[in-house]
Structure 1
Amino acid sequence: MRETQAQTVQVSPLRDDLAFLDIVTEWDIASGYHQWKAGIVVPDTFRPTVDLPRVMAVANQKGGVGKTLTTFELGMAFAARGLRVRLIDADPQVASLTSWLRILYPADLPTDQRRSLTDVYFDRCTLKEATYQTIYENLFLVPSFPDLATVETEHPTGYETCLRFHLWEEEDDVDVTIIDSGPSLGSLTVSALVAARDVLVPVQAASGLDIEGAAALHQTLGTITTRMNRGLRVAAVFLTDFTRSKLARTIGSEMAKAFPDALVVPVRTCVEIGNAQLSKQALRAHTPDATTTLDYDRGAGVLLRGVSR
């Protein structure tokens, strides 16, 4: 993992006078709709992370729920707090994190020697050797390309424990690793869940079908927790594309019931996300005062409350 720090952009903390959501202890289903106001739910049973390093997997078997946005914006929020953050792109789709986040490859590294997550799974390099500095200070990326799909079809030896081995056995100075999973509960997602301590579940607040996807994920998590990773927990649910509506209120209530020990974070919608993607910028850098940016930042602060480098 070679750095080119002089070329990076610092990720700054947000001002504290912006329109952050309130913190509440439970999802409000009692107030009349006209009086209802959404807030970030921090249950009494929630326990913030106090130990580092930490590995988080962003997962939901349904596509289009904001997994990549969640990964990127949380990574930026942690980096703004002085933590060294590694993002792992475990999504073989072309329109993935690697397409959005610009990498600063070392100038002396030939193109044909650049490594990716596929190389890690097929034992052609270590995770550290596939980790590259991005344009943002303290933010690193393990890129992926469409050939990552071969992991799903060829199942290289030890694929289920590959990430766990590299993340917990290799020595490096990364504080938080966030794994962006693809839109299925296949081999790559299972590998991410086996490696992680925390699962972060994006659910689209405008789609009733996402409740069914979350239920399927709940079943998979139960199997993995029982058989392969007893320390795994659902730490947060992010209600993406959130606008105040009766449907969003219902979905938030169902998620709070399904994951009673997890944060429930409404992530208010923002029209600038597409423009940020086109300009190859994080939304936080493109529109620092966007409500989406604020909600991810507040969620990150609760997840790792009091943790800093």
Structure 2
Amino acid sequence: MRETQGKTVQVSPLGDDLAFLDIVTEWDYGSAYHDWKASIVVPPTFLPGALPRVIAISNQKGGAGKTTTALELAMALVARGLRVRIIDADPQEASLSVWLQFFYPEGVPADERKHLTHLYFDQSVTLQEITYATPYEGLYFVPSFPDLEDVETKHPTGTETALQYHLSKPDDDIDVTIIDCGPGLGPLTVSALVAAHDVIIPVQAASGLDARGAAALNRTITSVQGRLNTELRVAAVVLTDFEKSGLARQIGGKLAKAYPNAVILPARTSVRIGEAQLARKPLRVFAAGVTTVLDYDRGASVLFVTGARA
């Protein structure tokens, strides 16, 4: 892995006395609305993922909160002492590469500045060559640029299995790899799903269209499970921009029924998310005590076995 940062920031654990959501085993359908409150649903059938692990963050609809989910889960895991790699598989310019202020190591010639696109088009490029350190201790990053769109349009040989091939090689000490997928269900998203152990689906808590997008994604997941990755599972649905409302309760209930073995994680809304993006800092570093950070932190604690590698 290449180093890009001379100085790193250590990400601290959160205190236990903050306003975390309760953890329950099923979605609350029956209580009176004024008594109802958001909770994290962890079904009795759910098993946390053993390490090392590959997670795809996916929903075909843009603006669902995929990038926030990828980064904040990563930061929560880093705070627990894990080594985490985020792969930016979104060709949009307003992507994680911008949010994390990614830059290449000083002195690296332009023709040696490798990123995710090279992994698909050049068989000599390794994942380690395009994995870079970030300013945050324990967090590593595979950047992308708009030319990643060429993978969607030109579909180079082996696209579907390229990430799976590279991630199957145990030649680094990464505990969790998180793939931030772009909008759409094209070759890049399929490649991520083929490589992943789990998929996490962010859905805007107040958007019926996001819920419909999750249904379309489920058809793609089923196809991948049948052809290329029989072990893939939906580990969680994240209800992003969550505020208490009848609609949020209804959407959460529908998704809990659609994915009965998955964690349902409300991620409470905060204006600080946009501010953190403008400041180009992870929300956990920019405003550690906000409810959104607490929710992703608690989600990370139930989604992963963080004590030991499998």
* CA–CA separation in structure 1 for the residues paired with 2:211 and 2:2: 42
Q: Tell me if structure 2 keeps the 8 A contact 1:61–1:183.
A: yes
Query: Is 1:99 paired with 2:132?
Result: no
> Counterpart in 1 of 2:9?
9
Letter of the 2:137 counterpart: E
Could you tell me the TM-score, scaled by structure 1's length? 0.97
1:110 CA drift (Å):
2.7
State the match for 2:164 in structure 1. Answer: 164
Structure 2 residue aligned with 1:186: 186
Tell me which amino acid in the other structure corresponds to 1:132. Answer: Y
User: Equivalent residues in 2 for 1:139-150 (5 A)?
Assistant: 139-150=139-150
Which sections of structure 2, spanning at least 5 residues, go unmatched? none
CA distance in 1, matches of 2:81, 2:271: 28
Higher mean C-alpha deviation, range 165-174 or range 178-187: 165-174
The CA distance in 2 between the partners of 1:134 and 1:70, in whole Å, is 18
- 2:47 equivalent to 1:44: no
The one-character-per-residue Cα deviations of 1:49-76 (angstroms, maximum 9, x if unpaired) are: 12x2100000001110000000000110
Note if contact 2:87-2:143 (Cα within 8 Å) is conserved in structure 1: yes
- Judged with a 3 Å threshold, the aligned counterparts in structure 2 of structure 1 residues 73 and 308 are, in CA distance, closer, same or farther, namely farther
Task: Measure, in 1, the Cα distance between the counterparts of 2:306 and 2:71.
Answer: 21
Structure 2 CA distance, aligned partners of 1:220 and 1:108?
A: 42
Distance 1:6 1:120 in 2: 26
Alignment of 1:109-120 (within 5 A): 109-120=108-119
Following superposition, the deviation at residue 170 of structure 1 comes to 5.2
| C-alpha contact (below 8 Å) 1:83/1:308 kept by paired residues | no
The worse-fitting range, judged by mean Cα deviation, of 166-175 and 153-162 is 166-175
Taking the TM superposition and a 5 Å limit, the aligned residue runs for 1:231-246 are: 231-246=231-246
CA contact (8 A) 1:62 1:210 kept: yes
Aligned length: 308
Q: Cα distance 1:70–1:49, how it changes in 2: closer, same or farther (>3 A)?
A: same
Tell me how far apart the structure 2 counterparts of residues 165 and 61 of structure 1 sit (CA, whole Å): 24
2:60 aligns with 61
1:219 is matched with 219
- Cα deviation digits, residues 154-195 of structure 1 (max 9, x gap): 111100000000000251111100000011000100000000
Structure 1 CA distance for aligned equivalents of residues 102 and 137 of structure 2: 11
For 1:56, the aligned partner's letter is I
Aligned-pair CA distance for 1:217 = 0.9
Shift of 1:107: 2.9
How far apart are 1:104 and its partner, in Å? 5.6
Give the conservation status (yes or no) of the 8 Å contact 2:58–2:200.
yes
Q: TM-score, normalised by structure 2?
A: 0.96
Cα distance, 1:308 vs structure 2: 5.2
SS in 2 for 1:14: coil
State the percentage of identical aligned residues.
64
| CA drift at 1:219 | 1.0
For the 8 Å contact 1:104–1:133, the answer to whether it is kept is no
CA contact 2:41–2:264 (8 Å) conserved in 1:
yes
Change (3 A) 1:170 1:162: farther
Q: Which residue of 2 aligns with 1:86?
A: 85
Which secondary structure does the structure 2 equivalent of 1:7 belong to?
coil
Letter of the structure 2 residue corresponding to residue 69 of structure 1: T
Match of 1:21 in 2: 21
Distance in 2, Cα, partners of 1:4 & 1:141:
10
Give the distance between the partners of 1:119 and 1:2, measured in 2 at CA.
15
4+ runs deviating over 4 angstroms: none
The answer to whether the Cα contact below 8 Å between 2:80 and 2:306 also exists between their aligned partners in 1 is: no
Aligned counterparts of 1:202 and 1:266: Cα–Cα separation in 2: 10
Contact 1:41/1:264 (CA < 8 Å) preserved in 2?
A: yes
Question: Please, which moves more after superposition, 132-141 or 108-117?
Answer: 108-117
Contact 1:89-1:180 at 8 Å conserved across structures:
yes
